[in-house]
A and B are shown apart, each in its own frame.
Chain A
Amino acid sequence: MAGLLSRWHAALAEQSPVAVATVIQGPEGSLGGKILVSPEDHTGTAGNAELDKAVVETARGLLEGGRTETVHLGPHGQRRMEDVAVFIQSFAPPPRMYVFGAIDFASAVARVGKFMGYRVIVCDARAVFATRERFPSADEIVVAWPDEFLKTAEVDGRSVITVLTHDPKFDVPVLKQALDTPAGYIGAMGSRRTHDNRTARLKEEGVTDEQLARISSPIGLDIGARTPEETAIAIVAEIVALRTGHSGGRLAERSGPIHAAAADTRADAKTGRERA
């Protein structure tokens, strides 16, 4: 199986998606069998061709969602059997964070997003604000109308979209567009008044209450944030809390396990770690 390690290493370096499946329980001699699976091909073996086929298939499914799991199969890849346990770890490229509105708050959100392992894309229609000087940590800076840009941008279930423009001219069209994506998080900044005004305009545009419920508005957890940095923390804290299904209160005032049993299993390529 020589070469699996170097391919694994290369895939991580190129940030191309890859899953590694390892037999961790099973018949004598099968332990440690390993297959490296990419969307296009695979290398290595779990023991036999039938088992390999089932493992590769399962691994591709998990890889698509960036998930890491242990799956159980029969010795020849049979579905409803449990003789062999295969640990499948996904190394997916970093999830994307879209930041619309190149204001000071956006700069802090971009920095914190980067720190959280996101690929950060900042977009604003105003070339004078969307500059490299203002966003040194962003992976991409795009000068375009937000809704136009979002139409062609890559968005999946791990993507987060933050709309910080709080100008109806920009945020109503981009939020409408965001609702047409499978983004895992959509947040919109603004005061209560801005929020009410924006909600009314979105409804006028035909957005339903059910769709509106997808938008975190006003954006962020209620931690009394005022500065751009504090606000950025409130926003990413909300992103994490929504993903894990936690409410965001103080652990000191709560009992029970800190890490939920139904831990979120999305990994990111940067650390290869689960975000449990």
Chain B
Amino acid sequence: MNPVIDKVAQWSQEGKMAALATVVKVERSGPLGPGTSMAVSEDGQVVGSVSGGCVEPAVYEEAMTAIEGGEPRLLSYGISDDEAFGVGLTCGGIIHIFVERVDW
């Protein structure tokens, strides 16, 4: 019933490593609310999304890093301060995303 968890469970059965990225907080205006998630498999498949497409490429990289290193991370993506946050959201909000390797 949840396409992201469905896919993650399927990867797990196939013996594939994966990482889960979940929106845990949205400040000001954000396209998708807390609980929205996206997952990435070790062979580069993606399911779900965490924004309107603005930060997915960056989150994809973070997910890959989590799969390799195993360290979970809380990331923030926000407005204007592109240097600090790496990528920006066009809608002017800040989203906080937790990225973790699926090892549970």
Chain A interface residues (CB < 8 Å from chain B): 1-2, 4-6, 8-9, 12-13, 15, 22, 24-25, 31-32, 34, 44, 68-70, 87, 89, 91, 257-259, 261, 263, 265, 267, 269-276
| 12 pairs from A and B in contact (CB 8 Å cutoff) | A8-B9, A9-B5, A9-B6, A22-B22, A22-B98, A70-B25, A89-B22, A265-B34, A272-B4, A274-B35, A274-B36, A276-B26
Cβ of B94 within 8 Å of any chain A Cβ, yes or no, is: no
Give the chain B neighbours of A272 by CB distance below 8 A. Answer: 1-2, 4-5, 35-37
B29-72 toward A: CB 8 Å interface, digit per residue (1/0)? 11111111100000000000000000000000000000000011
Give the chain A neighbours of B34 by CB distance below 8 A. Answer: 68-70, 87, 89, 265, 274, 276
B1-31 toward A: CB 8 Å interface, digit per residue (1/0)? 1101110110010000000001011101111
Cβ of B98 and Cβ of A5 under 8 Å apart? no
Cβ of B102 within 8 Å of any chain A Cβ, yes or no, is: yes
Give the chain B neighbours of A44 by CB distance below 8 A. Answer: 104
Q: How far is the CA of A31 from the CA of B75 in the complex (A)?
A: 13
Q: Which of B1, B29, B73, B98 contacts A259 (CB 8 A)?
A: B29
Size class of the contact patch on chain B: 20 to 34
Q: Which of B24, B32, B104 contacts A1 (CB 8 A)?
A: B104
Cβ of A13 and Cβ of B33 under 8 Å apart? no
Cβ of A265 and Cβ of B24 under 8 Å apart? no
Q: How far is the CA of A91 from the CA of B5 in the complex (A)?
A: 12
Give the chain A neighbours of B98 by CB distance below 8 A. Answer: 22, 24, 87
| 9 interchain residue pairs of minimum CB distance | A274-B33, A276-B33, A32-B72, A9-B9, A272-B2, A1-B104, A4-B104, A257-B29, A87-B24
Q: Which of B32, B73, B93 contacts A273 (CB 8 A)?
A: B32
Q: How far is the CA of A276 from the CA of B36 in the complex (A)?
A: 10
* Number of CB contacts from chain A to chain B under 8 A: 96
- Min CB gap A109→B, angstroms: 23
A273-B36 contact, Cβ under 8 Å, with A5-B9, A9-B5: yes
Chain B interface residues (CB < 8 Å from chain A): 1-2, 4-6, 8-9, 12, 22, 24-26, 28-37, 71-74, 93, 98, 100-104
Cβ of B33 and Cβ of A263 under 8 Å apart? yes
Give the chain B neighbours of A91 by CB distance below 8 A. Answer: 2
Give the chain B neighbours of A263 by CB distance below 8 A. Answer: 26, 33
Cβ of A269 and Cβ of B2 under 8 Å apart? yes
Starting from the known contacts A12-B2, A267-B35, 6 additional A-B residue pairs (CB-CB under 8 Å) come to A5-B104, A8-B9, A13-B1, A70-B24, A70-B34, A259-B30
Q: How far is the CA of A8 from the CA of B6 in the complex (A)?
A: 10
Q: Which of B8, B24, B33 contacts A24 (CB 8 A)?
A: B24
- Min CB gap B93→A, angstroms: 8
Cβ of A270 and Cβ of B1 under 8 Å apart? yes
Give the chain A neighbours of B36 by CB distance below 8 A. Answer: 272-274
A275-B33 contact, Cβ under 8 Å, with A5-B12, A24-B74: yes
Give the chain A neighbours of B9 by CB distance below 8 A. Answer: 5-6, 8-9
